[in-house]
Amino acid sequence: MRQRRRIFGALLAAAVAVGGVVVLGTASQVTATAAAGGTGTGYLHTSGNKIIDSTGATVRLTGINWFGMETDNKTFHGLWASRTWRQQLDQMAQLGYNTLRVPFSDDALKSDAKATGINDFTNPDLVGLSPLQILDKVIDYVGQKGMRVILDRHRPTSAGQSALWYTAGVPETTWITNWKALAQRYTGNTTVVGADLHNEPHAEGTNPAAAGSCWGCGDTARDWRLAAERAGNAILAVQPNWLIFVEGVSCPSGGLSNVWDNDPTNDEDCGWWGGNLSKAGEFPVRLNVANRLVYSPHEYATSVYNQPWFSAPDYPANMPAIWDHYWGYLYKQNIAPIMMGEFGTTLANPVDKVWLEKLMAYTGTGVNGMSFTYWSWNPNSGDTGGIVGDDWTTVNQAKQSILQPYLIPPTGGGTNPTTTTTTTTTTGGGGTGACTSVWKLDNSWQGGFQGSLTVTNRGTTAANPWQVTFTLLAGTTIGSGWNGTFTQSGTTVTATAPSHAPSLGAGASVALGFTANGTTGAPATVKLNASACT
């Protein structure tokens, strides 16, 4: 049996019983925001395997999942942390994530739904708001930063995943009605670009009594492809500008693989929950509005489940063919865009590091690469961890360094304090000649700050390998850093070149980003390979 299991960390607030009616399309509108820069202009649509904006420019969504609205808290996790919700979004944008995928359950959409687990000291503006009102505020601020939002119907209820898109308590009619209500709520708001219809439809039972989601089997009660058409077309009738994101299944028959049942039809090739789109070429999703379909597989590593391909003798050379089979062919044959809605790992196993590096390379570089939203921002995903640690601030640099070359940062406003200091020197040494440094304070909060130090080699030869040193104020310590390996001794910080980019050529620059704990202050005594920049 090949499936995905996720165990979330303990929640801070108890579950709140809900029994209200579903909130319909009469909910208040939020201000429309036109995203620009890294995520394009206006609404998005598709052309072949590309996502394009209203001007025809190609857009690559390189985003992050921030979960919680699908759980008993019914709102984003980490609102209990000692930093504001805006600071978390600021940091996502600064790290280069241009899209926010928001998982939710139908429970969070009920009229009497209560949002819990909110720190009333750091986030007093959220106290007393409903889950949808909090979502409105997040969407509005995300739009100001030039980011986009994808809404993900993650679960019918906060109790857990479901193999089908409906349950006895949450019928298909409720699922579609809620999607139409959300489409109406955000009509005119170009920050919200689409609907991920249902998270990880998967197999259940064994043939001939399969009870899970199939693809192309023709049973309207189980055929996820047909259900995606019904929901997608209902949404497009309300909001024809949205993208419709359709995940795969795990086993196309909807039954779990079982080699001991003597039924060869049940020994099919199965994959991750939501990750198997191998039948989408033969049985495509048909929408009434052209150029709106995006296929959205999920892909995971051994920290989620140890699939047999991870132990193959030709690993990792075998992985591109596996990805081609399950979903990559849709992109390579120019059938439709791919947006990996979830992928992640704890990186505890060295096998997983190789997997993540290979997967990112497979997606391609630059704006023409496949889109993705990494799982997750949250540290409390039990089988993957997060981009930030348990303090909801410190960046997991091992993960971020692998993702960073593929991120296309948003271009937008915000309320970040910014200070830039430039110093230049003509002294040289160590073969690098002169160097310049530019400091940019991206964000600050009580007890810490985040910024980037850009060092440029002004010499005539490359610094190979390069090393940058600088000093911080007494008592200030590095929390996390990226684009280099950071160490600290007293007030002196040393950033050494990563193994994949050891050389800093003449005229080239490196932007050393980091968070720090302590008093906000610009780095001083900056040196490149012993040549002083200040």
The residues annotated with a catalytic role in the active site are 200, 342
Task: Examine residue 208 and say whether the peptide bond preceding it is cis (omega within 30 degrees of 0).
Answer: yes
C-alpha to C-alpha distance for 484 and 451, rounded to whole angstroms: 14
| Residue 156, both tokens | 């019918």
| Residue 136, both tokens | 């409105």
* Residue 85 CB neighbours (<10 A): 23
Residue 334 CB contacts under 8 Å (≥ 6 apart), including other chains: 48, 49
The closest of 328, 313, 217 to 268, measured between CA atoms, is 217
C-alpha to C-alpha distance for 196 and 298, rounded to whole angstroms: 12
Q: How far is CA 5 from the centre of its chain?
A: 18
Q: Helix 85-95 to helix 131-144 angle, to the nearest 10 degrees?
A: 40
| Residue 492, both tokens | 């002196």
Tokens 């997967």 identify what position?
Answer: 359
| Residue 348, both tokens | 């505890």
Task: Examine residue 465 and say whether the peptide bond preceding it is cis (omega within 30 degrees of 0).
Answer: yes
C-alpha to C-alpha distance for 83 and 388, rounded to whole angstroms: 13
Residue 277 CB contacts under 8 Å (≥ 6 apart), including other chains: 215, 248, 295, 297, 326, 327, 330
Q: Read out DSSP for 249-317?
A: BSSTTSS---TTSS-GGGS----STTTB-TTTTTS----SSSS-EEE--EEE-TTT---GGGGSTTTTT
| Residue 313, both tokens | 């003798």
Query: What φ, ψ does residue 321 adopt, rounded to 5°?
Result: -65, -35
Strands of 45-47's sheet, edge to edge?
45-47, 50-52, 58-59
- Cα Rg for the chain, rounded, in angstroms? 24
C-alpha to C-alpha distance for 212 and 343, rounded to whole angstroms: 22
Query: Can you list the alpha helix ranges (DSSP code H) found in 81-169?
Result: 85-95, 131-144
How big, in percent rounded to 5, are the helix, strand and coil portions of the chain?
A: 20, 25, 55
| Residue 35, both tokens | 């995203």
